[in-house]
Amino acid sequence: MTLLLASAALNARTPTVSDLADIQADRMLLSAELERAKLREALAMQASSAQTNAAGMTSPSLRMVYGSQGVNIGLFVYSDGGTATAKAGDTLPGRYIVRSVGLQGAELVAHDARVIRVPLSRNAPAEPVPASDSGRSPSYRMPREPAR
């Protein structure tokens, strides 16, 4: 019996530096896959915040919030560089009704009753670029600089 246990102990595999390298490589791959999933989720959220209405106009971004006596007014910027100011209850170009404006962002109601949450941002919304035939998600480009 002792000989059998000694034989089993000799045949047991001892972890090596190579095993550690394999584990580390797996960890790096899993970390990269997790990061890719997070980036895809962030891109999907960004794309959904840049909804396009039936007229082809992209929903605006909220650049600034100001106001007094409990009435917040937002400065909204469109991808073509156009701006509009509005408070809750006002209608923006593109037939968006402003539901609320605050430091966390604004809520707009589109003409088809979709509620669009617009975070406070320093950038104008990106213009959607038509998706290629490759089946990938549409890409976005930065707004053009106005001619001087």
Return the pLDDT at 39: 79
Q: How far is CA 134 from CA 36, 48, 131, 137, 138, in A?
A: 19, 20, 8, 9, 10
Please name every residue paired with 45 in a beta bridge, in sequence order, or none if there are none. none
State the residue range of the domain holding 29. Answer: 17-49
The stretch 20-33 carries a mean pLDDT of 88
Tokens representing 7? 């034989």
Q: Is the pLDDT of residue 143 over 60?
A: no
The C-alpha atoms of residue 72 and residue 35 are separated, in whole angstroms, by 37
Q: How far apart are the first and last CA of the chain?
A: 92
The reply to whether 115 and 57 lie within a common domain is yes
**pLDDT > 50? residue 77:** yes
pTM, two decimal places: 0.48
Q: What is the CATH number of the domain that holds 77?
A: 2.30.30.830
pLDDT (tens digit, 9 = 90+) per residue, 39-69? Answer: 777 766 665 545 444 445 578 889 999 988 8
User: Do 63 and 33 have their domain in common?
Assistant: no
Among 80, 78, 98, 82, residue whose Cα is nearest residue 90: 98
